[in-house]
Amino acid sequence: MRGLFSIPHPSFDRVLVIESGPREVTEQLLDHLYSIQRSQTVDLLTCFEGAPRVFDSARGTIFCTSDRAQPTSRRKLIRALSRAPYTSIAILCTGSSILAKWKWIIALRTSAKILIVNEHGGFFSLDWRRRHTAKLLLSQRLRFPKIQIGLAAELLLVPFTIAYLLLYAGAVHGRRLLRTRK
């Protein structure tokens, strides 16, 4: 996951799209990559049969996960896609569990810039500046409830928090003193 702390706009020269959501979102993204971003090469990792309507086979390759029944062939494909010279990898995060393991394994292993695509076809690059957007998207996808506690509850938690921090600091400094005396 290269570029987690970088700010620049990602390059769209060579893109891998991981179709982990509805075909309509993929087609909308492909159309954007071809017409607006002027991508040279757009490869597609999918589990669906056939190519999307707007996919240009002269400018990319389709990799189908259903062709990879054996674990060794799946590992080879993941390794090949992770090491390929992609400048960006677009991952559909539409709330669908399609290719969930594939997209995160490839995202963790690659050195390309990661683009998160939502269910409306909009996207943002996964970097430090957009961590709040990623956190919000993740909490919506995992359906975490928003925890809101009142002021009285927060005031009750303050002494416990301070006590925990003091105990932790005491343990760390105590270990350091013991190590330096040996």
Say which CATH number the domain at 29 has.
Answer: 3.40.50
pLDDT of residue 144: 62
Q: Cα–chain-centroid distance for residue 9?
A: 16
- Residue 122's pLDDT is what? 86
- Same domain, yes or no: 129 and 157: no
> Is residue 2 situated within a structural domain?
no
Regarding whether 155 and 87 lie in a shared domain, the answer is no
What whole-number distance in Å separates Cα of residue 150 and Cα of residue 155? 9
Return the DSSP state at 49.
S
- Residue 8 in any domain: the answer is no
Q: What is the pLDDT of residue 153?
A: 73
- Tell whether 68 and 158 lie within a shared domain: no
Cα–Cα distance, 85 to 112 (Å, whole number): 8
Domain span at 134: 14-141
Can you give the pLDDT at residue 148?
62
- The predicted pLDDT at position 67 comes to 83
In this structure, are 30 and 101 located in the same domain? yes
Domain annotation covers residue 95: yes
Residue 99 burial class via C-beta count within 10 angstroms: exposed 0-12, middle 13-18, buried 19 and up: buried
| 36 lies in the same domain as 58 | yes
Same domain, 24 and 83: yes
pLDDT of residue 8: 59
Q: How many residues does the chain have?
A: 182
Which pLDDT score, from 0 to 100, does residue 77 have? 92
- Cα-based distances in Å from 27 to 50, 101, 169: 13, 22, 53
Going from the first residue of the chain to its last (182 residues), give the mean pLDDT of each consecutive group of 10, the final group possibly shorter: 56 91 92 90 92 93 88 90 92 84 88 88 83 78 65 79 90 89 74
Query: How far apart are alpha carbons 170 and 52 in whole angstroms?
Result: 60
Number of domains in the chain: 2
Residue 174 and residue 89 share a domain: no
Domain match, 133 and 153 both? no
Do 158 and 113 lie in a common domain? no
